[in-house]
Amino acid sequence: MPTNNWHPSFQPLVNRVQERGMYSPHAYVSYEVDGHRHQVMLGDGRGYNDFRDGGSIEEATEELIENIEKCTEDRHFDKDGVPHGKKHNVDGSEVHKVAMEQLLTTEYDREFTENKWKQQMYKIWGGHIPAAVMVPKEDDPEKWELLIPDVEGNARRVPIRDGLMDGTLPPPTPKTANKQLGYGYKTVERESGDKKLARIVYEQRRRDG
C-alpha cells in the first residue's frame, strides 16, 4: 500500500529522508485477512535487509504465506494473554500480488521517520497532532482562532473571522472547560448521577460525625 499520504506538518521533512524502498532496514510485507494482519519484517531496523543479503521477493512472500497458514486460535495472544488468532484460508497468488505492490510502492524509510515524528508530536500536543484545530483565543474566549502546527509542533495562530463561529460552539467558561497546558481547553468532566449521590452521602456522613 503506498504511504505517500503524509501528515501536512511532516511534509517539510519528506524529501530530507533518504528513501531506500524495499532495501530499507525497515521494510516489511504484510497481509490482512479476516480482520487479522500478518507481517514479515525484511530488515532489522538498523542496517540489515534481506534483499541486500541475497533474499528474493518470492522468499519473502512464501514466508508471509506460511505465517498466515500457520495461524490458529492459540498462536497469537493479546496483552492480557487472551488468544486472538484465527485459522485462515488464503489465495497465495493474491498474497503475492499484495506483497509485490507493497515492496514496489511503500516508502519504508519515510514511513518509519514519520511514525517517530508522530511519537514526538504526541508528547508536545498531549495526543495525536492535528492538521489544524479551531480553539477559543486565550485572551478572548469569545473569539476563535485556527492553530496550524509546523514541523516542530509549534502552532501558527490564524484568526477566524468574527461571527463565523457564532451559534456553533459556546465559549469556554470556568464551569465548562479549563485552560490546559499547551494549546486549547479541556472540558470539565461532568459528574454522573451515581457519583453525585455517593458524594452527597459521604459529605453528609462527615457532617454527622
- In one-letter notation, the amino acid at residue 144 is W
Note whether residue 121 is domain-resident.
no
Predicted local distance difference test score (pLDDT) of residue 110: 97
Note whether residue 82 is domain-resident.
yes
**Distance of alpha carbon 120 from alpha carbon 123, whole angstroms:** 5
Note whether residue 32 is domain-resident.
yes
Share of the chain above pLDDT 70, in %: 78
Note whether residue 113 is domain-resident.
no
Domain co-membership, 33 together with 99: yes
Average pLDDT over residues 157-165: 87
Q: In terms of C-beta distances under 8 Å and separation of at least 24 residues, what long-range contacts does 127-133 make, across chains too? A: 129/7, 129/9, 129/153, 131/7, 131/8, 131/9, 132/8, 133/183, 133/184
End residue of a domain, out of 48, 74, 106: 106
- In one-letter notation, the amino acid at residue 129 is I
Domain co-membership, 138 together with 206: yes
Domain co-membership, 97 together with 163: no
Average pLDDT over residues 26-42: 91
On whether the CB atoms of residues 137 and 193 are closer than 8 A, the answer is no
3-class DSSP assignment, residue 33: strand
pLDDT higher than 80, residue 67: yes
Note whether residue 6 is domain-resident.
no
Note whether residue 181 is domain-resident.
yes
Containing domain of residue 88, as a range? 20-106
Q: Which helix (H) or strand (E) holds 179?
A: strand 177-179
What's the pLDDT tens digit per position in 105-132? 999 999 999 999 999 999 998 889 999 9
Round the CA-based radius of gyration of the chain to a whole number and report it.
25
Note whether residue 11 is domain-resident.
no
Grid cell for residue 99: 506483497
Predicted local distance difference test score (pLDDT) of residue 2: 45
**Distance of alpha carbon 150 from alpha carbon 156, whole angstroms:** 7
Predicted local distance difference test score (pLDDT) of residue 48: 96
Domain total of the chain = 2
Note whether residue 206 is domain-resident.
yes
Domain co-membership, 80 together with 32: yes
On whether the CB atoms of residues 28 and 1 are closer than 8 A, the answer is no
**Distance of alpha carbon 49 from alpha carbon 100, whole angstroms:** 16
Q: How many CA atoms lie within 13 A of 177 on its CB side?
A: 17
Domain co-membership, 25 together with 100: yes
